[in-house]
């Protein structure tokens, strides 16, 4: 990269790279404004246990772009991760999710529901991440016992000692931890036991071809068996069909999330959904 090239080195100028950089800085600028202008919202995707009881939800970020409409996180989270813009976005998500959790505690049917919040690698690596979470919990009055932070394999492996320190400190507050997209990364078995996680989330890429795909069925069976024997709660994401659910159920999966049950819903739609169950 040009940045790391020393003096007197030849730099190759690539116009397509410049175009990509321009796009990125435009997006970064728009993202910076998006927070101030209130263009972000959280949607909530319901999660169910084996008996089809609602147990909680995952908060999923959406960007209501003034020109381009609703933008999914896959389009702006990776770019945000490469710049520090993910930090104010991550703070906004955590504050908004905790405010929602606190509001749910006043509803007869929403009280006690768990809420999963995705944390980005950069956000988690902040030296004051633990304090940030503690402050948000204090000011929102959300119950930490109902908050699940979702981490991914690649981010927990970066600096295992730092990860353990942070998870331990936050677990003392009552917070739960989930390992998202499980199976797509490279976590070792020893890591799984050392991190004192609460939940594994089976990535939807393993669920989509169940039960027909023998290899995926074998992987899912192995993940569930391992998670259960480690005492971890196991939830499958991306469950779209009754056949998928039935297979996961037969293997002992504890919980489900996916279009079979519900798509992610706005806060209002979520409350209507809960009222209608
Ligand atoms: P994820 O955390 O693994 O979230 C699950 C994704 O699966 C969501 O995509 C959800 O809408 C989608 N999904 C749920 N059920 C189904 C289904 O039945 N079929 C299929 N095909 N997909 C289903 P979404 O909302 O587009 O989010 C994508 C990713 O963006 C998330 O993956 C997460 O990694 C990231 N993300 C979302 N919100 C946040 C956030 O607030 N902060 C951070 N750092 N990342 C976020
Ligand atoms: Mg997630
Ligand atoms: Mg996931
Ligand atoms: Mg994913």
CA atoms in the 13 A half-sphere facing the CB of 259 = 6
Give residue-wise pLDDT tens across range 34-46: 999 999 999 999 9
Q: What is the rounded CA–CA span in Å between residue 63 and residue 61?
A: 7
Q: Find the mean pLDDT for residues 215-238.
A: 96
Closest by CA to 35, choosing from 118, 94, 82, 75, is 94
- Three-state SS at 124: helix
pLDDT at 172 over 60: yes
C-alpha of residue 159 to centroid of ligand 1, in Å: 25
C-alpha of residue 5 to centroid of ligand 4, in Å: 35
C-alpha of residue 60 to centroid of ligand 4, in Å: 11
Give the residues surrounding ligand 1 with Cβ less than 6 Å away.
45, 60-61, 72-74, 77, 90, 93, 118, 120, 150, 180-181, 204, 237-240, 258-259, 264
Instruction: Supply the pTM of this predicted model.
Output: 0.93
C-alpha of residue 118 to centroid of ligand 1, in Å: 9
Bridge partners, residue 9, by sequence: none
Q: What is the rounded CA–CA span in Å between residue 142 and residue 123?
A: 20
Given this model, what pLDDT does residue 28 score? 83
Q: Of all protein residues, whose CA lies closest to atom 46 belonging to ligand 1?
A: 118
ipTM of the complex: 0.97
Kindly report the average pLDDT of the chain as a whole number. 92
Given this model, what pLDDT does residue 3 score? 47
Given this model, what pLDDT does residue 237 score? 97
How many C-beta atoms lie closer than 10 Å to residue 259's C-beta? 12
For residues 21 and 82, the model is more confident at: 82
Given this model, what pLDDT does residue 7 score? 56
Q: Find the mean pLDDT for residues 9-29.
A: 75
Rg, C-alpha atoms of the chain: 20
pLDDT at 65 over 50: yes
For residues 272 and 187, the model is more confident at: 272
Of 38-42, 77-81, 132-136, 184-188, minimum mean pLDDT range: 184-188
Q: What sign does the CA torsion over 21, 159, 125, 203 have?
A: positive
pLDDT at 32 over 70: yes
Given this model, what pLDDT does residue 67 score? 85
186 upstream amide cis, omega within 30 of 0: no
| Residue in this structure with the two tokens 């633990």, named with its chain if needed | 130
Q: What is the rounded CA–CA span in Å between residue 21 and residue 265?
A: 34
Q: How far is CA 125 from the centre of its chain?
A: 15
What percent of the chain shows pLDDT beyond 90? 75
Q: What φ, ψ does residue 95 adopt, rounded to 5°?
A: -65, -45
Both tokens of residue 54?
């609602």
Given this model, what pLDDT does residue 11 score? 62
Given this model, what pLDDT does residue 162 score? 95
Q: Of all protein residues, whose CA lies closest to atom 2 belonging to ligand 1?
A: 118
Give residue-wise pLDDT tens across range 79-133: 899 888 999 999 999 999 999 999 999 999 999 999 999 999 999 999 999 999 9
Contact call for residues 225 and 250 (beta carbons, < 8 A): no
| Residue in this structure with the two tokens 């490279």, named with its chain if needed | 186
């Amino acid at each position: 990269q040009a940045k790391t090239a020393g003096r007197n080195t030849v730099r190759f100028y690539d116009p397509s790279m410049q175009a990509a950089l321009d796009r990125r800085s435009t997006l970064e600028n728009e993202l910076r404004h998006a927070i101030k202008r209130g263009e972000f919202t959280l949607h909530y995707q319901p999660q169910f246990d084996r008996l089809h009881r609602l147990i909680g939800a995952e908060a999923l970020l959406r960007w209501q772009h003034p020109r381009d409409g609703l933008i999914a996180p896959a389009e702006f989270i990776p770019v945000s991760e490469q710049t520090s813009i993910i930090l104010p976005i991550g703070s906004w998500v955590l504050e908004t999710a905790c405010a929602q959790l606190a509001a749910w505690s006043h509803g007869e049917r929403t009280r006690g529901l768990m809420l999963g919040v995705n944390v980005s690698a950069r956000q988690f690596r902040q030296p004051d991440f633990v304090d940030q979470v503690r402050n948000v919990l204090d000011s929102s009055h959300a119950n930490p016992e109902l908050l699940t932070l979702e981490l991914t394999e690649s981010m927990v492996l970066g600096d295992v000692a730092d990860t353990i320190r942070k998870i331990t400190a936050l677990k003392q507050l009552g917070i739960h931890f989930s390992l998202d997209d499980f199976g797509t990364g490279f976590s070792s078995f020893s890591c799984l036991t050392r991190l004192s996680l609460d939940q594994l989330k089976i990535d939807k890429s393993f669920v989509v071809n169940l039960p027909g795909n023998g290899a995926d069925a074998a992987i899912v069976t192995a993940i569930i068996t391992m998670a259960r024997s480690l005492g971890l709660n196991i939830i499958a994401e991306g469950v779209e069909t009754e056949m998928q659910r039935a297979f996961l159920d037969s293997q002992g999966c504890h919980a489900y999330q996916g279009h079979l049950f519900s798509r992610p819903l706005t806060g209002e739609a979520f409350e209507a959904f809960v009222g209608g169950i």
